[in-house]
């Protein structure tokens, strides 16, 4: 392969950035500083968490689904910081509303939709993603094939709503048109040396697939109402009193 | 306003119905009978039986003596009421106000309806023909008062339509029984030689009241429009309703769509003029075969926006089965509220007009068949986890208390706590390990107990001691022990949720 000169490389880099911008990876006017995911955001093209696209979360056990719900809650909190509403669509209605308050989402600003079948969840999600007044829509789905995900992706490209698909224990993972595929696993929480009790939630965040980005693995904590890079643990004494763990 | 009433008399209501159900009975004398004091007494006889001298009130044994091959069928209890109600609902296509007049009649308030059929004569002819075509032997009359219409329908000999002011002349040749009187009053009148209404109609009312009681005078005055009489409509007439009768029966989805669109335009124009919006509406489709199908929609806030309501109804069209065709569409706004012209911001930071699109989305979702529930939750003042939140009554309701965030709560809560096996070292200590679905989870970290008492005024049972535990894989669970430690009894432990 021919070695590219620095100028050319710079030019190509700039062109790539333009292309991404046209594809919709532009900094949102509401979130110029990102959504607080720290190092993970660097994995995305232009180092911007893609809003207005579909994110797919794979969870194989109920514990992972619970961890994923918490993680999505944290992302939703950042997206909904300036107000707005989001939808949570499922067939089981297992999410415990008071708990997402702990991740910064006002549970009364989430509208829960219970559907009879998976098909109805998909229909509701597509309708919701077409409505540009929403901030985000979360759907708990088991199976989703490529054409279904493409329909969702086309809907969000018009409305700029962020869609989250939480797939618990799918039979076939398959290929989808989603912007990113995540896998969140719960990790042993960290407590200060010699202290009893359970610490703040800690997750292993794995980006299995990122469109135009770099997959990777990170460990993060949820503490003081925000995501924290687990490699630089925060001292409990630095946390504001109201965010310390009680119980 | 001039009022007109029609009275329909079903001469053989129950036997006609039975002959419709069992055509074999049409050509033979048969009676319906029910047991009275241990004897079978005839309640209704068909025309063939009547011509041979059988009438209601006879004992079956006597009738059988007269006609040995008489068919006797048990009278199903409540049949008359059911039939009259069904026929009354069918008559709603001719007027919104229909009342039943047991044991064998219907009263229709035809004020302002007959011109739609081109006058009273075609109106009456239409109803009588359609009912006779269905196999009911009916007589019908139209008059200014319920009393007169009924008297003419039951006892009239000539014209069934009595013009305004002609009640006096129409009633005078009829027998007193036409006035819906008690049988002993009729008997007494006949004994005194008063065989027609005309013979006592002009007597002083005080004398009539003294001799025959207040009932006769009241009935007479009601029939002569000197006293008001009201009917109790089968279905209350909603204030906001529109109807489209169709010349040809509608059978296609497109046809139904057009009908809905037109109805909504009429209804919403009226609502918008009055500053109202509908919260709930029902579409009634009356079919040619006499059945009725209905679909209902709800909206989460009062609206008179035609395209939106239309979209909600379109989702319901697959549920409307036209069969042979629909001949009448009626839309009723069941619940109407004042529409707020100034839309206030319901959600923090989101400006006003935006929530219209949102509520329209929610209405659409809620209207779909496969969607079970669209709900929003507000905090409730309960510690018991299942009751710590409640359904918001409306989409714009604001929380009255704050969400509790000082206690750890799992993100996923099981609808029903699942029993687990646990080994706990010391009473009131968190367990060492637990077994859930066959897997053993050694516990590394734990928090608790957090005791939550059951609300004794709401339900009975044990309190719960909750523990937040983390196993060796970093998975976090919410466990609880039900009740106190008691000697000699196994502890009951449950898994109730999964932490993030």
Q: What is the ipTM of this complex?
A: 0.84
Residue A239's pLDDT is: 52
| Residue B374 within a domain | no
Instruction: Determine the residue of chain A that is closest to B448 in CA distance.
Output: A247
Strands of the sheet containing B292-303, edge to edge, are B241-250, B326-338, B276-287, B292-303
Interface check for A224 against chain B (CB to CB < 8 A): the answer is no
Mean pLDDT of chain B: 85
Interface check for A99 against chain B (CB to CB < 8 A): the answer is yes
pLDDT digits 0-9 by tens, B337-356 = 887 654 444 444 443 334 67
Interface check for A119 against chain B (CB to CB < 8 A): the answer is yes
Say whether both B178 and B209 belong to one domain: yes
Q: Does the pLDDT value for residue A16 go beyond 50?
A: yes
Strands of the sheet containing B71-74, edge to edge, are B39-45, B30-36, B71-74
Report the alpha-carbon angle B450-B453-B457, nearest 5.
160
Domain that holds residue B19: 5-145
Q: Does the pLDDT value for residue A193 go beyond 80?
A: no
Please identify which residue in the block is written with the tokens 């003081």. Answer: A224
Q: Does the pLDDT value for residue B446 go beyond 80?
A: yes
Of B405 and A91, the one with more pLDDT: A91
Average pLDDT in the A22-39 region? 68
The tally of domains found in chain A comes to: 1
- CA dist A27 and B24 (Å) reads 82
| Residue A139 within a domain | yes
Instruction: Check CB contact under 8 Å for B500 and A246.
Output: no
Interface check for A67 against chain B (CB to CB < 8 A): the answer is yes
> In chain A, which residues have their Cβ closer than 8 Å to the Cβ of B470?
188-189, 198
| Residue A9 within a domain | no
Instruction: Find the CATH number of the domain harbouring B197.
Output: 1.10.150
Of B352 and A219, the one with more pLDDT: A219
Q: What is the CA radius of gyration of chain B?
A: 34
Residue A238's pLDDT is: 53
Residue A5's pLDDT is: 84
| Residue B373 within a domain | no
| Residue B405 within a domain | no
Average pLDDT in the B266-284 region? 87
> In chain B, which residues have their Cβ closer than 8 Å to the Cβ of A197?
445-447
Residue B423's pLDDT is: 87
| Residue B370 within a domain | no
Instruction: Find the CATH number of the domain harbouring A86.
Output: 3.40.50.300
Average pLDDT in the A5-27 region? 80
Q: Percentage of chain A surpassing pLDDT 70?
A: 87
| Residue A34 within a domain | no
| Residue A217 within a domain | yes
Last residue of a domain, one of B111, B145, B179: B145
How many Cα atoms occupy the beta-carbon half-sphere of B200 within 13 Å?
Answer: 27
Of B49 and A2, the one with more pLDDT: B49
Name the band, by pLDDT with cuts 50, 70 and 90, for residue B403.
confident
Instruction: Check CB contact under 8 Å for B474 and A98.
Output: no
| Residue A27 within a domain | no
Residue B347's pLDDT is: 43
Say whether both B167 and B127 belong to one domain: no
B156 Cβ contact list (under 8 Å, min separation 6): B139, B141, B170, B174
User: What phi, psi does B217 have (nearest 5°)?
Assistant: -65, -40
| Residue B334 within a domain | yes
Last residue of a domain, one of B355, B390, B421: B355
Instruction: Check CB contact under 8 Å for B370 and A82.
Output: no
Here the tokens at position A64 are 């992972």
Q: Does the pLDDT value for residue B332 go beyond 80?
A: yes
Buried/exposed A117-154: b ≥16 CB within 10 Å, e otherwise: ebebbbbbbbbbbbbebbbbbbbbbeebeeebbeebbe
| Residue B286 within a domain | yes
Say whether both B120 and B161 belong to one domain: no
Closest CA to B220 of B210, B232, B231, B229: B229
Domain that holds residue A124: 52-188+198-243
| Residue B369 within a domain | no
Query: Which residue among B370, B377, B410 places its CB closest to the CB of A116?
Result: B370
- The Cα-based distances of B87 to B99, B189, B215, B365 in angstroms read 10, 34, 29, 37
Last residue of a domain, one of B174, B197, B223: B223
Say whether both B262 and B291 belong to one domain: yes
Say whether both B171 and B86 belong to one domain: no
Average pLDDT in the B322-327 region? 86
Q: Does the pLDDT value for residue B418 go beyond 60?
A: yes
Query: Which residue among B409, B445, B499 places its CB closest to the CB of A197?
Result: B445
Query: Which residue among A85, A95, A98 places its CB closest to the CB of B358?
Result: A85
Say whether both B324 and B256 belong to one domain: yes
Beta bridge partners of B292: B286
Instruction: Find the CATH number of the domain harbouring B32.
Output: 3.40.1170.60
**Most confidently modeled of B21-25, B345-349, B417-421?**
B417-421
Residue B352's pLDDT is: 33
Average pLDDT in the B217-222 region? 88
Say whether both B255 and B218 belong to one domain: no
Residue A71's pLDDT is: 93
Instruction: Find the CATH number of the domain harbouring B265.
Output: 3.30.1490.100
Closest CA to A167 of A121, A226, A105: A121
DSSP state for residue A151 in the 8-state scheme: H
| Residue B210 within a domain | yes
Residue B494's pLDDT is: 92
Name the band, by pLDDT with cuts 50, 70 and 90, for residue B260.
very high
Comparing A24-33, A121-130, B169-178, B342-351, the range with the smallest average pLDDT is B342-351
Residue A164's pLDDT is: 94
| Residue A71 within a domain | yes
- CA dist B127 and B140 (Å) reads 9
Chain B interface disruption, residue of A75, A98, A244, most B CBs within 10 A: A98
Name the band, by pLDDT with cuts 50, 70 and 90, for residue A30.
low
Say whether both B279 and B341 belong to one domain: yes
pLDDT digits 0-9 by tens, A89-103 = 999 878 999 888 888
Say whether both B326 and B446 belong to one domain: no
| Residue A35 within a domain | no
The tally of domains found in chain B comes to: 4
| Residue A37 within a domain | no
Say whether both B123 and B210 belong to one domain: no
- CA dist A53 and A212 (Å) reads 13
Distance from CA of A62 to the nearest CA of B (A): 7
Say whether both B90 and B202 belong to one domain: no
Residue A126's pLDDT is: 92
Average pLDDT in the B224-238 region? 82
Say whether both B9 and B140 belong to one domain: yes
Residue A124's pLDDT is: 92
């Amino acid at each position: 392969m021919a070695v590219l000169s620095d100028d050319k490389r710079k030019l190509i880099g700039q062109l790539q950035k333009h292309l991404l911008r046209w594809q919709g990876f532009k900094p949102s006017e509401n979130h110029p500083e990102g959504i607080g995911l720290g190092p993970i955001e660097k994995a995305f093209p232009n180092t911007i968490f893609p809003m207005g696209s579909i994110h797919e979360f794979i969870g194989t056990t109920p514990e992972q689904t619970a961890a994923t719900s918490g993680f999505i809650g944290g992302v939703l909190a950042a997206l909904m910081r300036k107000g707005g509403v989001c939808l949570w669509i499922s067939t089981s209605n297992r999410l415990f509303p008071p708990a997402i308050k702990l991740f910064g989402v006002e549970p009364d600003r989430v509208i829960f939709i219970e559907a009879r079948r998976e098909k109805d969840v998909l229909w509701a999600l597509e309708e919701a993603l077409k409505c540009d007044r929403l901030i985000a829509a979360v759907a708990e789905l088991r199976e989703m094939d490529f054409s279904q995900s493409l329909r969702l992706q086309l809907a969000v490209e018009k409305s700029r709503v962020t869609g989250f698909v939480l797939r618990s224990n799918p039979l076939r993972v398959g290929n989808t048109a989603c912007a990113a595929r995540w896998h969140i696993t719960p990790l042993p929480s960290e407590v200060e040396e010699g202290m009893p009790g359970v610490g703040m939630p800690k997750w292993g965040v794995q980006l299995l697939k990122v469109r135009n980005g770099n997959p990777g693995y990170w460990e993060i904590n949820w503490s003081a109402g925000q995501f924290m890079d687990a490699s630089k643990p925060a001292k409990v004494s630095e946390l504001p009193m109201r965010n310390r763990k009680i119980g | 306003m001039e009022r007109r009433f029609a009275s329909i008399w079903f001469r053989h209501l129950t036997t006609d119905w039975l002959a419709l159900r069992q055509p074999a009975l049409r050509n033979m004398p048969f009676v319906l009978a029910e047991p009275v004091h241990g004897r079978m007494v005839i309640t209704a006889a068909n025309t063939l039986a009547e011509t041979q001298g059988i009438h209601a009130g006879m004992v079956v044994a006597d009738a059988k003596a007269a006609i040995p091959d008489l068919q006797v069928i048990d009278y199903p209890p409540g049949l008359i009421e059911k039939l009259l109600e069904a026929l009354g609902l069918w008559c709603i296509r001719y007027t919104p106000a229909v009342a039943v007049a047991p044991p064998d009649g219907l009263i229709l308030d035809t004020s302002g309806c007959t011109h739609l059929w081109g006058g009273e004569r075609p109106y009456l002819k239409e109803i009588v023909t359609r009912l006779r075509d269905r196999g009911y032997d009916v007589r019908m009359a139209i008059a200014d008062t319920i009393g007169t219409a009924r008297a003419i329908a039951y006892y009239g000999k000539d014209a069934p339509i009595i013009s305004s002011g002609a009640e006096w002349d129409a009633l005078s040749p009829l027998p007193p029984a036409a006035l819906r009187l008690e049988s002993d009053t009729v008997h007494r009148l006949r004994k005194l030689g008063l065989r027609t209404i005309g013979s006592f109609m002009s007597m002083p009312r005080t004398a009539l009241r003294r001799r025959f009681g207040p009932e006769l005078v009241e009935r007479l005055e009601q029939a002569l429009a000197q006293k008001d009489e009201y009917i109790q409509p089968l279905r209350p007439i909603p204030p906001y309703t529109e109807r489209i009768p169709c010349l040809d029966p509608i059978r296609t989805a497109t046809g139904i769509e057009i009908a809905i669109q037109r109805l909504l335009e009429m209804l919403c124009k009226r609502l918008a003029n009055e500053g109202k919006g509908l919260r709930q509406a029902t579409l009634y489709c009356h079919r040619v075969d006499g059945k009725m199908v209905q679909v209902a929609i709800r909206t989460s806030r009062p609206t008179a926006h035609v395209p939106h309501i239309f979209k909600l109804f379109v989702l319901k069209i697959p549920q409307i089965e036209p069969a042979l065709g629909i001949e009448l569409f009626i839309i009723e706004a069941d619940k109407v509220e004042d529409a707020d012209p100034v839309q206030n911001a319901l959600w923090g930071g989101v400006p006003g007009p935006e929530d219209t699109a949102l509520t329209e989305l929610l209405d659409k979702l809620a209207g779909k068949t496969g969607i079970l529930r669209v709900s929003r939750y507000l905090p409730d003042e309960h510690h018991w986890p299942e009751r710590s939140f409640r359904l918001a009554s409306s989409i714009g309701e604001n929380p009255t208390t704050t969400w509790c965030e000082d206690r750890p709560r799992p993100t996923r809560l099981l609808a029903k706590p699942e029993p687990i096996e646990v080994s706990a070292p010391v009473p009131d200590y968190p367990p060492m390990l637990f077994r859930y679905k066959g897997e053993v989870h050694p516990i590394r970290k734990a928090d608790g107990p957090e005791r939550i008492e059951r609300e004794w005024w709401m339900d009975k049972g044990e309190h719960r001691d909750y523990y937040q535990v983390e196993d060796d894989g970093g998975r976090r669970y919410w466990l609880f022990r039900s009740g106190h430690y008691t000697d000699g009894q196994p502890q009951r432990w449950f898994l109730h949720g999964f932490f993030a």
